[in-house]
């Protein structure tokens, strides 16, 4: 159950397949497009965390030159799936080894051509792409195999690489500089033909630089070559020739063996096996595959909301990473988990600058975080599909819960690992500055004797500038409590670090206010119905159902939020109160969670792929795993099916959905198997009907455990690491 296969070729599925068959890692993302595809088919060789801005366009990660381009030319005309009669076509992703392959049989006139290729992004090297390509034809005929570096790059918001130079020194070379910061991007490619009696020419043109391999092809003979390409950014370029020479010497199969060894080690501690439901088993493994692709490779990296699938969402890091993805790494990969935390610590100066820009003290973290905590989010993120004008949105300035999400993640990391040293690495300063921001942003009502948070947007982005969002207020209270918890921790350790930090930050007054307000933060009352109001006045909004709302749409991509159709209704974009109930589950009874689930789920449009997993998790908490199952599958299969929003108000937002992958993992492990760490490692299974058994490996406080859960018996055994 390690292979993802799709048979048949459909031009309508090109964009989706590019996401579905993605390979790479956090230094290099390669969309699962075919060898002959170009800019029009949205080929992308993405360099995560290498950002660039052109003019007034959105700042986004750079797409590099494409060294995978290869095509077959017969009688002077390219022959491929786009212009030939496709007899058969199969595209495969080997998840175990992170290898993508394809096989296409194409007919033209009285002959058929079979094209096969495979590729992987090396896990041994940072930016090395290794591939092989072969062609055979069922008649004697002259053919040309054209392969090289395509420089006609697909960019969403500008042409990011300029001053492009082409050269060849036994290998092909392309280099250029980025528009904004002048990063030098270089790509080298060389091939090893595994056949004789051919002529090779070098071709340079506006599309790039290519080898043209002329062959007098014999009937049914296979002509193949191996291709090696390395991409460098700035100082990495100094060693590119040595890397290329080394991999050429070793060849495709030896490098694949090393690459596979690394992936097998990852799967040893990450794989989850579901027995009884093959569809769920494969879908969850595919979700885990995406999370393994995205493991941060340095302390300066986290995980963008669209992973490594391209430039959508500006290649930025959202709250998705901390709330939906971090739990996977806490269970399987503590190095990556710590890097996620360190990324936010390094972003503190940017968060403080953002708060200052709005007139507040403390740390207001970026909604769309790029390097150094820079907020790439703009005030106009959606285009009106009717007027084509930009719509003012409030993601950047009113989703203040982002700062609390980061503190929640830091607390989760410390609770799970007992690595209190992270506090001295900068986490404590982050927590103090976030609390300072909330003290300044919030409002103490003298008449009501409570601390309120006005003018915010919760996870439900359809309702803007609301007061006392239940989710946000719980986070604010948690932040205040965390400050005092860590003060107590350092006191118990006879460590002056907390007091020293108070002196350094001139924090005495803030500490007094936190002590005063921590129990006065307004937490929404539980109504007689046990339903918690999402924000002040929510219950006064129009209570219509989703079908009624959708019937009012005049355009399929019409934006529903803000002043749109959903703004004055109770229809919400995604889990909001339900997310709060999951994150703060210890504060609420099963009955409260059940009543809120039943109230809010019918009113939730699930317009974000973050939504389904929160409803699935809480459904398990109220002992309804079969209600959770379709929501779990919705999260786990979103990048298999391609059934997600590709546009928001006319703006393309396609790509992969790693937060949904993380949510699917959370549902399986914490929901269906009921894993918890409150008092040692325990399980409380809530298996759906189709599951016979679920087994997995998990780390906790330096130890490795094998967990096996079925309907009759559960076992937790310590393993050797």
Please state the φ and ψ torsions of residue 437, each to the nearest 5 degrees. Answer: -60, -45
CA-wise closest residue to 631 among 569, 709, 574: 574
Tokens describing residue 37: 């595809």
CA-wise closest residue to 330 among 693, 618, 677: 677
Cα separation, 183 vs 177, whole angstroms? 5
Residues 6+ apart with CB under 8 A from 392: 379, 380, 562
Cα separation, 146 vs 336, whole angstroms? 40
Cα separation, 288 vs 663, whole angstroms? 10
Tokens describing residue 666: 């959370």
Out of 461, 464, 487, 510, pick the active-site residue: 461
Cα separation, 203 vs 172, whole angstroms? 10
The answer to whether residues 213 and 144 touch, using CB atoms and an 8 Å cutoff, is: yes
Residues 6+ apart with CB under 8 A from 386: 554, 555, 558
CA-based diameter of the chain, in Å?
91
Residue given tokens 């409002």 in the structure block: 443
Q: How far does Cα 331 stand from its chain's mean position?
A: 18
Cα separation, 143 vs 190, whole angstroms? 20
Cα 452-320-315 angle, rounded to 5 deg: 120
Residues 6+ apart with CB under 8 A from 669: 272, 327, 331, 675, 696, 698
DSSP single-letter state for residue 424: I
Cα separation, 107 vs 128, whole angstroms? 33
What region, left, alpha or beta, does residue 684 occupy, with left being phi > 0 and alpha being psi -120 to 50 degrees? beta
- Give the number of other CB atoms < 10 A from CB of residue 712: 6
Cα separation, 701 vs 679, whole angstroms? 12
The answer to whether residues 617 and 630 touch, using CB atoms and an 8 Å cutoff, is: no
The answer to whether residues 341 and 323 touch, using CB atoms and an 8 Å cutoff, is: no
β-strand 141-150 against 70-74: which pairing, if any?
Answer: antiparallel
Tokens describing residue 610: 């973050």
The answer to whether residues 380 and 401 touch, using CB atoms and an 8 Å cutoff, is: no
Check if 464 is active-site: no
The answer to whether residues 316 and 659 touch, using CB atoms and an 8 Å cutoff, is: no
CB hemisphere CA count around 3 (13 angstroms)? 8
Cα separation, 665 vs 435, whole angstroms? 31
The answer to whether residues 67 and 8 touch, using CB atoms and an 8 Å cutoff, is: no
Please state the φ and ψ torsions of residue 556, each to the nearest 5 degrees. Answer: -65, -25
**Among all residues, which ones are annotated catalytic?**
461
């Amino acid at each position: 159950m390690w292979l993802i296969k799709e048979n048949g070729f459909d031009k309508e599925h090109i964009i989706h397949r590019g996401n579905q068959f993605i390979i790479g890692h956090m230094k290099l993302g390669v969309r699962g497009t075919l060898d002959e595809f170009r800019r029009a088919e949205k080929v992308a060789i993405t360099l995560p965390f290498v950002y660039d801005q052109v003019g007034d366009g959105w700042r986004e990660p750079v797409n590099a030159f494409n060294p995978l381009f290869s095509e077959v030319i017969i009688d002077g005309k390219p022959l491929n799936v786009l212009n030939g009669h496709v007899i058969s076509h199969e595209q495969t992703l080997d998840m175990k080894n992170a290898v993508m392959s394809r096989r296409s049989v194409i007919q033209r006139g009285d002959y058929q051509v079979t094209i096969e290729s495979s590729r992987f992004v090396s896990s041994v090297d940072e930016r090395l792409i290794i591939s092989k390509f072969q062609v055979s034809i069922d008649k004697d005929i002259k053919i040309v195999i054209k392969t090289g570096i395509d420089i006609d790059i697909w960019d969403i918001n500008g042409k990011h690489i300029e001053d492009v130079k082409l050269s060849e020194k036994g290998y092909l070379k392309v280099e250029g500089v980025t528009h904004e910061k002048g990063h030098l991007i270089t790509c080298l490619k060389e091939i090893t033909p595994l056949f004789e009696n051919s002529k090779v020419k070098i071709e340079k043109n506006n599309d790039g630089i290519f080898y043209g391999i002329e062959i007098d092809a014999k009937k049914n003979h296979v002509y193949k070559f191996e291709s090696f390409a390395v991409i460098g950014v700035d100082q990495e370029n100094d060693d590119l020739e040595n890397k290329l020479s080394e991999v050429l010497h070793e060849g495709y199969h030896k490098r694949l063996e090393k690459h596979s060894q690394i992936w097998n080690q990852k799967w040893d501690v990450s794989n989850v096996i579901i027995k009884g439901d093959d569809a769920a088993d494969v879908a969850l493994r595919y979700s885990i595959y995406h999370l393994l692709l995205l493991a941060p490779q340095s302390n300066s990296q986290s995980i963008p909301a669209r992973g490594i699938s391209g430039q959508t969402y500006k290649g930025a890091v959202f709250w998705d990473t901390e709330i939906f993805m971090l739990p996977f790494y806490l269970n399987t990969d503590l190095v990556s988990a710590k890097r996620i935390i360190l990324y936010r610590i390094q972003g503190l100066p940017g968060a403080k600058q953002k708060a200052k820009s709005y007139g507040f003290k403390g740390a207001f973290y970026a909604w769309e975080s790029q390097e150094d905590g820079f907020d790439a989010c703009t005030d106009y993120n959606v285009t009106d599909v009717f007027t084509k004008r930009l719509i003012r949105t409030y993601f950047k300035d009113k989703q203040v819960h982002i700062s609390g999400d980061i503190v929640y993640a830091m607390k989760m990391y410390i609770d799970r690992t007992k690595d209190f040293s992270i506090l001295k690495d900068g986490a404590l300063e982050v927590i103090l500055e976030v609390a300072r921001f909330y003290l300044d942003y919030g409002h103490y009502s003298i008449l009501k004797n409570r601390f309120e948070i006005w003018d915010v947007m919760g996870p439900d982005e359809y309702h803007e500038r609301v007061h006392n969002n239940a989710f946000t207020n719980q986070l604010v209270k948690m932040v205040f409590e965390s400050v005092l918890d860590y003060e107590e921790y350092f006191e118990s350790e006879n460590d002056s670090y907390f007091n020293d930090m108070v002196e350094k930050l001139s924090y005495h007054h803030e500490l007094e206010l936190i002590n005063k307000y921590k129990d006065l933060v307004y937490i929404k009352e539980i109504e007689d119905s046990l339903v918690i109001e999402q924000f002040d006045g929510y219950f006064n909004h129009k209570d219509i159902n989703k079908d009624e709302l959708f019937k009012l749409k005049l355009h399929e991509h019409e934006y529903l939020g803000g002043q749109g159709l959903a703004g004055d209704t109770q229809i919400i974009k995604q889990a909001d109160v339900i997310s709060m109930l999951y994150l703060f589950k210890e504060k609420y009874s099963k009955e409260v969670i059940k009543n809120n689930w039943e109230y809010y789920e019918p009113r939730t449009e699930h317009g974000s792929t973050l939504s389904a997993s929160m409803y699935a998790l809480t459904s398990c908490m109220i002992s309804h795993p079969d209600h959770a199952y379709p929501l779990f599958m919705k999260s786990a299969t979103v990048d298999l099916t391609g059934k997600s929003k590709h546009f928001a108000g006319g703006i393309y937002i396609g790509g992969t959905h790693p937060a949904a992958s993380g949510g699917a993992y959370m549902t399986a492990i914490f929901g269906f198997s009921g894993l918890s760490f409150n008092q040692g490692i325990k399980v409380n299974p809530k298996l759906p009907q189709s599951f016979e058994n679920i087994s997995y490996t998990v780390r906790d406080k330096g130890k490795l455990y094998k967990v096996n859960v079925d309907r009759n018996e559960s076992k937790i055994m310590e393993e050797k690491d």
